[in-house]
Each structure stands twice: as C-alpha cells, then as structure tokens.
Amino acid sequence: MRILRLLLFVFLFPVFSPVSLQAHEGMWLPHLLQQLEGRMRETGMRMSAEDIYSVNNTSLKDAVLHFGGGCTGSVISKEGLVLTNHHCGYGQIQAHSTVERHLLRDGFWAGTKADELPNPGLTVTFIRRIEDVTDIALAGVTADMSEAERQSTIDRNLNDHAPSVRREADEDIFFRPIYYGNQYLLFVTLTYRDVRLVGTPPESIGKFGADTDNWVWPRHTGDFSLFRIYAGPDNRPADYSPDNRPYDPVHHLPVSLGGVKEGDFTLVYGFPGRTQQYLPASAVAMTLESVNPPRIAIRDTALHILDRAMRADEKTRLQYASKYARIANAWKKWIGENQGLTQTRAVWKKKSLEAEFRERVESDPRYHSLLEELDSIVATVTPYEVAAQYHNEIILRTVEIFTPARWLQTLAARYAENGEKGYADYLPRVRSALAGFYKDYRPDLDKEVFVALMQLYAQEGDPRLAHPIIFQSFAGDGAVQMASTLYSGTLADAARTLALLDLSPEALTNAVQADPVIGLYEQLQSHYKREVGQPLARWQDEMDQRMRRYMAAQMEAFPDQPYYPDANGTLRVTFGQVEGYQPEGRPRYECQTWLSGVIEKYVPGDYEFDVPARLRELEERKDYGPYGEGDRMPVCFIGSNHTTGGNSGSPAMDADGHLIGLNFDRVWEGTMSDLNFDPSICRNIMVDARYILFIIDKFAGARHIVDEMTLVNTRR
C-alpha cells in the first residue's frame, strides 16, 4: 500500500505542479514585477519592484542597455562607461586591430578619453517605457476572422495608434506581440550612436579557454570589455563628433567588492533573444530526435576538417578562428541541449502536463482537439524541418564557395531590376564583401568540406524533398568529381572573381549566368524554396495560430501559475541564486572558480589556454589588491538565473542592485532551458565583478578606469 502510494505520488507529482514552474524559472517583464516582489524578497532581494523598473523615478532599468542589437550592456560610471562581454565587443576590437597594434592579442586600455576609439555603426539602446497595448491592438479582432484579416486589423490598429504615443522627438517606438499574439506591448526607446571602445583585456583573458571551454563549467574566462557612450551638448543622442561629451546617465550601477556566496540572491537584467517554453511535447521531441541530430552531424563533419587544418598551419588558424567559433558555438549548444532534455526527461514531463491539460479542457469545445491538431502539424512538418536543416546548414552556412555566388547573383539581380544605377549603388558593397571573404578563404580547405558535406547530404538527405541532383551527382565519388570542376572555376580564385567586378554590368551578368557554382546554387535554392521553404512557412502559420490558442488555453487551464512570455529580444528580469549543481555522473560543481584554476589550465603558447606572464606573476605573488578573497582571486561564478543568447553582457546584481557579475554563458546541459527550464541543471555563468576590477587595475594598470566607478562593499 505504501509503495503504491509512493509510486502514485512519484507519478502524479509533476502533474500536480502543472507548468512545473520552479524556484527560478522565468524571464519576467520588468513593468509587471509587482506580482513577483514577494517571491523575489523570499529569495533574498532587498529592493522593491519600483527600484527595478519605474517610469517616473530612477530605477535599475535606466542603467541597462541593448548593446549593438544582439547583446546586453550596463552603465557603470557617472561618465557613461559601459560594461559588456569581450565576445560582444569582438567585432569592434577586431576592427581596431592591426599588425602593429594588435588589440585582440595585447588588449587595449585608453589612457585618456581622447584615446577612446569610435565605432561607426555601433549603437546602444535604452528602454524608456513599456506599456500594454493589447486592447488597442486587438480592437475589432474577432474569433472567426481569417489569419490575414486578423493581422491586417492589428497592423492598422497599431499604425493608427503610433502617432499618439507620448515621446520625445529623438525617442523611437516599436510594438511586439507576446504569448503568441495574445497580448501586445509598446516599447519607447532611446538610442545613442556614438559609442567608443575604452578597454579590453587580451584574448588570452577575454576569450580564455575559447571553444574548448565554451558552454562549460568550471570556467575561467574574463569575458568583458568596456565602452563609453558619448552624447551631444544636451546629453541626447548625436552622431559621432569629437565635440560630443561623455553621457551623463540617469543611473549607473555601483560595483560591489563584497563578492558572492552560495545562496546569495542574483538578478540578471537584459535582452534575451528567443526561447520556446510553451511548445507541446511533440515539438520538443522533434527538436531532440529529428532536428538536432542532423545539424550536429553536419557541423561535426565540418569542424573536424577545419580543426585539422587549423592545427597544422598558423595562417589558417587565424583565417578560420572566427568562422570555427561560430560553427562550434551552436553545435556545442545543441549537443548540450539534447543531453539536458534527455537527462531531465523533458518530453515525458511535458506529456504528463498535457495529460492534465486534456482533463481540464475536455469539455471545452474551443480547446477540445487542439493538442491533437498541434501534434499532427508537428508530424507533418518534421521532414520539412529536417530538410531545412540540410539545406541551411550545408548550402547557406557552411560551404563557403556559395557566399561569393550569393553576392554576385544579387549584384546581377540588382542590375536586372534597377539598371545601371542599381548596379552602381550595390557594387561597392559587393566589392568590400568579396575582398573580406577572400582574405580569409582557403579554397582547398573549403573543397574538402564541400566533398564531405555533399556526400553526407546525398547519403542522409530526404529524396522526396532535396534536389535530385544531390543524389544523382554527389553520392560517393560523384562529389569528388563535381568538386574538382567547381573548385577549378572562377569563384575558387580571388583574383578572377574580383576581376569580374571590373566588367560591364552586361558582361558580369553573362559571367554569372555561365558560372557553374552560381548555377548549382540557383538550382538548389529555387528547388528548396518551392519544395521546402514555402510549405514550411504555410505549416508554420498553422502552427502559430494554434500555439496562440494553446497558449491562451494553458493560461486558462492552469490559472494559478505565474506566466512569462517567451524571450523575444525585449528587456527582461530573471532572478535566482548563486548556486552550484550536480552534473550527471560527476562530482558536484562548486559555484565559484579561482585564478589558481586558470593556472591549472595553462598551456604555454596554446591558442586557447595560454596565460599572460603578468597574470601568472600576480597569481604567484597573490597580489590581488583589494579584490581577492582571502588568499584566492575569484574569477567566475554560476547561478540559477534563466538566461539565453542575448543575455550576454547582462549585469548580474545583488539584493541591493549592486553589480556583482557579468553574464556570458550557460552550463552545457543547461542550454535546454530554451525549451524547458529545469532548476536542477540550468545555470548561467558570470564573470565575478572582482575579477573585472582586478584585471583593469592590477593586471592592466588602468586604475583611472576603476576610479570612475562607484565601488561599494556591503558584505563587510
């Protein structure tokens, strides 16, 4: 009897906590935090919701910014100093690097404001205000409308509303659906356009451990860089000018010297990009079983070939370092995602939830067959989703020779559509893109990747959906033969390709039409669009409509659960605690790493694990200044905050809103939090604020930058 009850309990437990929303799951909308204030205080917070987000008063949100559109940053001095990740500022740091002045390798610290380096095109955006505009957006929308009618009604409503939104002349607005279009939000934003590089550690600190340690805990990376916002005379946004002045912020985050202890409250404030928490079990199973395996296998194949070449030749290593990092980042994330989904039985958990959902809505005709419909759409789209992976991964992302093909094809199309003028306008872009491409291109290496991936495509691709030429011409030796033709042609040769740009538009058009690589690319693209892309988009529409209803249905069926919208690149708050974890089959991981661990990983001369001499000396002398903890120097720590891509560079704050860390990654198995957050293994990784201060002050001797900040120490 007892065993039976126990079994019942074990079986029913997940059903009784339906959305299984645990301690620290959630990417919360900052303007709705009142509802969570109690829970946040129970977790240790000493602030109010109003301290975090307020329209009328200064709040933490005024120090948080969208950095360059894809990352997050925060203001950490009264002179507009911005903290973000090294990997977020990477493009700018690289752009300023030359052989004589190698910022990536040596680091950079502006001695005075005059030394700070401008970055054309780089912007930072603050959120001024968020408002719920659901009633306005959905006015006149009825249940029996077609999707197209519904969308055009909403678009019209929001367009009509836009001019009446209260804002300053230099502020922008945009609208975003949340909960699959059940609700709509308005964002009023302010974007600064003069953002200068102030400081960065060398790669051997900022990218320490590189791809081997990426997504991995224990971690020892000082992944930070510093920028400064400049403003016009009125402190408002202005184009770059030497006369601009450092931005005087509404709020800047004090930086804590107090450090972190297991169990401490943490709040991460930033711009998470995309999550899908509310999908049915069948869709999660599709990602786990059908979508992730082929894309992992494709990237695996390419990475092996690139790795061998990069290890054999230093020039190749430099040429391919950033391409390799890009391919490896998502590859590794998907592997971890699958491990985590399996280990936490995410699909099973979702299924038990759905059983409960079915019971609750059984008698409701609106939702009655909803899950069956969703499951059947998922079953239908699965082969299309898989076919999309093969095409996108191989043709669009990994085989490089299709990149110049795309540029030249577009140039010829501009000429066909807009004549001489269209051609002339577009030509400079193509010229600089191609020059950049060929600088880091090794055709022999790309040929090897091409052969391996096309063979894989011919072997594993779906003959019903992929172009027949894949199976006819690229199986086995076919790929080798095709490659020797294609890679002895124009596009494999930088000089010959760039020479095309000196031809007349007609002659270029003729060359484009005759080129075998461009011909192959066009065939594959148009076949893909017709056979896979278009049906997939139609099914995606069907899926979205039902997800909108399923989302609403979940909220009705489980009304006691707190809900948060999926990440969509808008400002969110996540909170949690400093917290270690127990990976499967390994000893428990502590929540903090130390500089001694950097030294343990040190491999002299290695491109991932070299350590600067100065840093080794400081560790040897235990010369940590005021930043160490006893006889150790903290480096990184982990917490149970729910984050995703886009949260890179997000400030991590303590119970009082002081900066204690800088978010930059998640632990490997925890990357499944994009589909199903599980508090047992989902952890975010942060650089300890004390390590950042130590590197600036003790390692780089840039004490003047630390002096700008407001340092606090509440622990002592």
- Residue positions annotated with a catalytic role: 87, 223, 648
Query: Which one of 210-218, 358-366, 534-542, 699-707 is the stretch in contact with ligand ARG (CB under 6 A)?
Result: 210-218
Can you name the residues that pair with 197 across neighbouring β-strands?
Answer: 117, 227
Question: Of 264 and 665, which has the nearer Cβ to ligand GLU?
Answer: 665
**CB neighbour burial string for 506-528, b if at least 16 within 10 angstroms, e if fewer:** eebbebbeebebbebbbebbebb
Burial of 97 (0-12, 13-18, 19+ CB in 10 A): middle
Q: Interface with ligand ARG includes 674 (CB under 6 A)?
A: no
The residues in 42-101 that bind ligand ARG, with binding defined as CB under 6 A, are 87
Q: Interface with ligand ARG includes 645 (CB under 6 A)?
A: yes
* Nearest in space to 374 (alpha carbons), one of 217, 243, 575, 548: 548
Asked if 465 and 532 count as a contact pair (C-beta separation under 8 A), the reply is yes
Which two tokens mark 522?
A: 């066009």
Q: Which of ligand GLU, ligand ARG, none binds 698 (CB below 5-8 Å, type-dependent)?
A: none
Asked if 430 and 501 count as a contact pair (C-beta separation under 8 A), the reply is yes
> Out of 20, 92, 119, 214, which residue is the one contacting ligand ARG (CB under 6 A)?
214
Which residue of this chain has its Cβ atom nearest to ligand GLU in the complex?
A: 648
Question: Of 329 and 710, which has the nearer Cβ to ligand ARG?
Answer: 329
Question: Of 214 and 525, which has the nearer Cβ to ligand ARG?
Answer: 214
Q: For the CA atoms of 143, 145, 150, 153, what is the dihedral angle to 10 degrees? A: -100
The C-alpha atoms of residue 196 and residue 242 are separated, in whole angstroms, by 11
Q: Which of ligand GLU, ligand ARG, none binds 189 (CB below 5-8 Å, type-dependent)?
A: none
The C-alpha atoms of residue 712 and residue 328 are separated, in whole angstroms, by 39
The residues in 602-621 that bind ligand GLU, with binding defined as CB under 6 A, are none
> Out of 138, 141, 325, 475, which residue is the one contacting ligand ARG (CB under 6 A)?
325
> Out of 17, 134, 329, 392, which residue is the one contacting ligand ARG (CB under 6 A)?
329
Q: Interface with ligand ARG includes 684 (CB under 6 A)?
A: no
Q: Interface with ligand GLU includes 645 (CB under 6 A)?
A: yes
The C-alpha atoms of residue 110 and residue 103 are separated, in whole angstroms, by 11
Q: Interface with ligand GLU includes 25 (CB under 6 A)?
A: no
> Out of 205, 210, 518, 611, which residue is the one contacting ligand ARG (CB under 6 A)?
210
C-alpha distances out from residue 61 to 123, 189, 306, Å: 17, 12, 43
Q: Interface with ligand GLU includes 643 (CB under 6 A)?
A: yes
Question: Of 385 and 665, which has the nearer Cβ to ligand GLU?
Answer: 665
Q: Interface with ligand ARG includes 32 (CB under 6 A)?
A: no
Query: Which one of 10-18, 444-452, 599-607, 642-650 is the stretch in contact with ligand GLU (CB under 6 A)?
Result: 642-650
The C-alpha atoms of residue 674 and residue 68 are separated, in whole angstroms, by 22
The residues in 648-677 that bind ligand GLU, with binding defined as CB under 6 A, are 648, 664-666
Q: Which of ligand GLU, ligand ARG, none binds 643 (CB below 5-8 Å, type-dependent)?
A: ligand GLU
108-109/81-84 β-pairing: unpaired
Min dist. Cβ of residue 226 to ligand GLU (A): 17
* Nearest in space to 565 (alpha carbons), one of 28, 72, 66: 28
Q: Which of ligand GLU, ligand ARG, none binds 325 (CB below 5-8 Å, type-dependent)?
A: ligand ARG
Does an H or E element contain 66, and which?
strand 64-67
* Nearest in space to 151 (alpha carbons), one of 162, 160, 141, 161: 141
One-letter amino acid at 324 equals Y
- Where would I find the beta strands (DSSP E) of 232-307? 245-246, 255-256, 265-270
Which long-range CB contacts under 8 A does 95-104 form with residues at least 24 apart?
A: 95/119, 96/197, 103/200, 104/202, 104/203
> Out of 28, 180, 215, 402, which residue is the one contacting ligand ARG (CB under 6 A)?
215
The C-alpha atoms of residue 90 and residue 664 are separated, in whole angstroms, by 13
Min dist. Cβ of residue 683 to ligand GLU (A): 10
Query: Which one of 104-112, 211-219, 291-299, 423-431 is the stretch in contact with ligand ARG (CB under 6 A)?
Result: 211-219
Phi, psi at 227, each rounded to 5°? -130, 175
Query: Which one of 105-113, 310-318, 646-654, 697-705 is the stretch in contact with ligand GLU (CB under 6 A)?
Result: 646-654
Q: Interface with ligand ARG includes 665 (CB under 6 A)?
A: yes
255-256/711-712 β-pairing: parallel
Min dist. Cβ of residue 303 to ligand ARG (A): 12
Q: Which of ligand ARG, ligand GLU, none binds 644 (CB below 5-8 Å, type-dependent)?
A: ligand GLU
Q: Which of ligand ARG, ligand GLU, none binds 116 (CB below 5-8 Å, type-dependent)?
A: none
The C-alpha atoms of residue 688 and residue 686 are separated, in whole angstroms, by 6
Question: Of 403 and 640, which has the nearer Cβ to ligand GLU?
Answer: 640
Q: Which residue has the tokens 């995410």?
A: 346
**Contacts with ligand ARG: how many residues (CB under 6 A)?**
10
Q: Would you tell me how many other CB atoms lie within 10 Å of the CB of residue 300? A: 14
Q: Which of ligand ARG, ligand GLU, none binds 455 (CB below 5-8 Å, type-dependent)?
A: none
Min dist. Cβ of residue 212 to ligand GLU (A): 15
The C-alpha atoms of residue 328 and residue 320 are separated, in whole angstroms, by 12
Query: Which one of 102-110, 145-153, 307-315, 639-647 is the stretch in contact with ligand GLU (CB under 6 A)?
Result: 639-647
Q: Interface with ligand ARG includes 641 (CB under 6 A)?
A: no
Which two tokens mark 468?
A: 């027949």
Judged by the rule CB under 6 A, the positions of this chain that interact with ligand ARG are 87, 210-211, 214-215, 325, 329, 645, 648, 665
Judged by the rule CB under 6 A, the positions of this chain that interact with ligand GLU are 643-648, 664-666
